[in-house]
Amino acid sequence: MMYYSTNGKAPDATLAKAVVNGLAEDRGLYMPRSIKKLPQAFFEQIQDLTFQELSCTVADAFFGEDIPADALHKMVCDTLSFDCPVVRVEDGIYALELFHGPTLAFKDVGARFMARMLGHFAGGREINVLVATSGDTGSAVANGFLGVEGVRVFVLYPKGKVSPIQECQFTTLGGNITALEIDGCFDDCQALVKNAFMDEALRAALPLTSANSINVARFLPQAFYYFNAYARLREQGFGGQPVICVPSGNFGNLCAALFGAEMGLPVRRFIAANNANRVFFDFLQNGVYTPRPSLQTLANAMDVGDPSNFARIWELYGRSVDAIRARIGGCTVDDATIAATIRECLASTHYLLDPHGACGYRALKDGLQEGETGIFCETAHPAKFKEKVEAITGAEVLVPERLAAFMRGQKQSVALGKDYQGFRNYLTDTLL
Ligand SMILES: *Cc1c(COP(=O)(O)O)cnc(C)c1O
């Protein structure tokens, strides 16, 4: 499979190049030249397959031309060492729980898969992974790569803008993982990473790669759990097409679901749930995409003012606003509504949402029509936002042991400014 750049000014890349480079030379995002449709028979019998089995079929369609089947299937099974169950919350509304991995958020799936695929393609060379995080990416990538030989990971995070629980998950690991505390916001962190990739002199000296959701090895595998959600609903006797609602920031997770639908996954329509960072919602209203500085909200992993995967959605639907509107609806949920939703949902269903899942649940509940069944992604465990959720509900949130273990660790990070030169000097001093 060849991958092209959404900016159209870079040559096509092989999967290996797209994975190692992350971003194309023209700063575009890689897109597969074609998307394979899975046969009808697969969907008719999907309920008989386990999560790992059906994910191997999906992985074959994406990556089968480029990676031998046994190596690919091992990557899939190693990645999916935990379940992504579909849990009934109330009539017609299900939570796709994506927080059962090591760092209790959905990014574990993409990060674990990417670490394994990068290991496959790096073939013994020393490689440096740069990742900007607004909270959960850093922990998922750091944990996904921890101990992977020949790979060093630098996690850039905005000082004071991630929760203490998120912070400890990437600052306490040590080994091949270094946390860089940037005096700026998430967009500054993302800009530093993007600048490093555009710096040809730096890249000539240091092999660099990205692990943000722009990397095809990170975002595509996120399709696995949408197929599983459909399979598990069918197993419970559901025969229709669900509405899928995804709490979105950089739109990698939604984008994976859209790719799933292009492969034939039956989905009635999609809802993109935004917090107060409503660039995509506004785009759906007025047809113009206008990036803005990000705002801090309760759902901080979605505080993104210029979602990188918008370019992929734009491409996927032939650069047509109407085609996008025909498949994806939008919603914006402010902090007061997030808090009210967590309280209401707990009181009426006994299901405890995290602030991101609350955006999804709210958007789905408001958007679902008579007779429709919907799934929203519960993208993180509420204990990751313990203080916020407890302040909202007034009740204690129990912390799973794997999260408590991080909190006992010793924080280690390097403080840096948001200027590119300082970041560049740090990298060359450390690595050369
Ligand atoms: C990253 C993240 C999101 C947003 O996902 P995108 O793929 O960036 O749209 C939502 N919720 C949680 C908990 C996250 O960590």
CA distance 302 to 135: 9
Instruction: Identify the pLDDT of residue 137.
Output: 80
CA distance 355 to 337: 10
Question: Mind spelling out the 3-state secondary structure of 226-257?
Answer: HHHHHHHHHHCCCCCCCEEEEECCCCHHHHHH
**DSSP class per residue in 61-93:** HHHTTTS-HHHHHHHHHHH--S---EEEEETTE
Question: What pLDDT digit, counting tens, does each position of 263-291 carry?
Answer: 999 999 999 999 999 999 999 999 999 99
- Average pLDDT on 77-89 reads 96
Instruction: Give the torsion through C-alpha atoms of 241, 242, 245, 246, to 10 deg.
Output: -80
Which are the contacts of 223, defined by CB distance < 8 A and separation ≥ 6? 58, 62, 256, 257, 259, 260, 263, 265
CA of residue 425 to ligand 1 center, whole Å = 31
Q: What is the pTM of this model?
A: 0.91
In this structure, the residue with its CA closest to atom 14 of ligand 1 is 301
CA distance 387 to 392: 9
Q: Is the per-residue pLDDT at 72 higher than 90?
A: yes
What is the CATH topology of the domain spanning 83-104+218-393?
A: Rossmann fold (3.40.50)
CA of residue 182 to ligand 1 center, whole Å = 20
Q: Is the per-residue pLDDT at 123 higher than 80?
A: no
- Average pLDDT on 348-362 reads 98
- Going across the sheet that includes 328-332, the strands are 86-90, 93-97, 374-378, 243-247, 269-274, 328-332
CA of residue 388 to ligand 1 center, whole Å = 17
Instruction: Identify the pLDDT of residue 159.
Output: 96
Of 68, 72, 6, residue with least CA distance to 33 = 6
Q: Is the per-residue pLDDT at 378 higher than 90?
A: yes
Instruction: Identify the pLDDT of residue 109.
Output: 95
CA of residue 248 to ligand 1 center, whole Å = 6
Question: What pLDDT digit, counting tens, does each position of 26-63 carry?
Answer: 989 999 999 999 999 999 999 999 999 999 999 999 99
Q: How many helices (H) and strands (E) does the chain have?
A: 20, 13
* Ligand 1 site, CB within 6 A: 105, 107, 135-136, 213, 247-254, 301-302, 356, 379-380
Measured from the CA of 135, which atom of ligand 1 is nearest? 15
CB 183 within 8 A of CB 423: no
Strand pairing of 86-90 and 127-132?
Answer: unpaired
CA distance 238 to 236: 6
Q: Is the per-residue pLDDT at 124 higher than 90?
A: no
In this structure, the residue with its CA closest to atom 15 of ligand 1 is 136
CATH of domain 107-215+407-431: 3.40.50.1100
Instruction: Identify the pLDDT of residue 259.
Output: 98
Q: Where are the alpha helices (DSSP H) in 123-210?
A: 136-145, 164-171, 186-198, 200-205
- Domains 83-104+218-393 and 107-215+407-431 in one fold: yes
Tokens matching residue 122: 């790096």
CA of residue 137 to ligand 1 center, whole Å = 8
Per domain, the residue ranges of the chain are 83-104+218-393, 107-215+407-431
Question: What pLDDT digit, counting tens, does each position of 222-274 carry?
Answer: 999 999 999 999 999 999 999 999 999 999 999 999 999 999 999 999 999 99
CA distance 197 to 204: 10
Q: Is the per-residue pLDDT at 213 higher than 80?
A: no
Band (143; pLDDT cuts 50, 70, 90): very high
In this structure, the residue with its CA closest to atom 2 of ligand 1 is 301
